Amino acid sequence: MIKHLTAATTAALVLLTSSVPFTAYGAAMNRYGGPIYMGAPALGTTAALVKAGGGAGHFSLVTALTSMVGSKLVTDEVGKLTKQYGKHAVGQWVTGFNFSVEDSLRLATKAGVTLPSPSADLHGKALAAALVNAGVDPQTNVFWAGRLYDKTVTHAIHDQVMNDIDAKYGAMTDMITHKISNQAMYDLAHALDDTHVRLASLH
């Protein structure tokens, strides 16, 4: 269960969302594009992702993806992304994503957030589909990594994680983490025959 926000936290969120750009239909935008999601987090999906990736303290994006869609698809996708972005950038993506998950868990624990036990039904391709759906803007059908992070850990935690990545690895790694996640999750959606999902402008 998520504990109630303090007055200071609520005020900070209001200040944050009043100072960011807005989309054409009036939603505040995330740092790397796409509308901010301020609803309740999908903690069941978060818990399932963490389990698929090896658990807290041992999370691996590659392990999580392999558990969801199999080693062949993951190998093919990593090869495709490497040709598209280069080996260094793909390494930054994996590092940034792994750090994002571990840092989110640290911040969530500090904030009094407890993840539920992962659902027995939320694994494999069902989990992959849930992650895609979590990041899709319902107004445009575009997948945004920022929305995925907002929806799995809350916008406030996502914002702090970005600041932490900037401090540890630099803003370029932060941007690349979002950029390649947009492309990879779009590719994953289409591999699952979810062809209504559109590719973000940052890719």
In a domain, 96, yes or no: yes
In a domain, 97, yes or no: yes
What pLDDT, on the 0 to 100 scale, is given for residue 2?
A: 36
In a domain, 154, yes or no: yes
In a domain, 4, yes or no: no
Block means of pLDDT (10 residues each) for the chain, 203 residues, are 37 38 62 94 95 96 97 97 98 98 95 88 95 96 97 95 97 98 98 96 97
What pLDDT, on the 0 to 100 scale, is given for residue 120?
A: 84
Which class for 200: exposed (0-12), middle (13-18), buried (19 or more C-beta within 10 A)? buried
In a domain, 198, yes or no: no
In a domain, 23, yes or no: no
User: 20 is written with which tokens?
Assistant: 């960011």
In a domain, 129, yes or no: yes
pTM, whole model, 2 decimals? 0.86
In a domain, 20, yes or no: no
What pLDDT, on the 0 to 100 scale, is given for residue 27?
A: 66
Q: How many domains are contained in the chain?
A: 1
Question: Distance of alpha carbon 46 from its chain centroid, rounded?
Answer: 10
Element (H or E) spanning 16, and its range? helix 7-18
Structural domain boundaries enclosing 143:
40-191
Q: Which residues does 24 contact at the CB level (< 8 Å), separation at least 6?
A: none
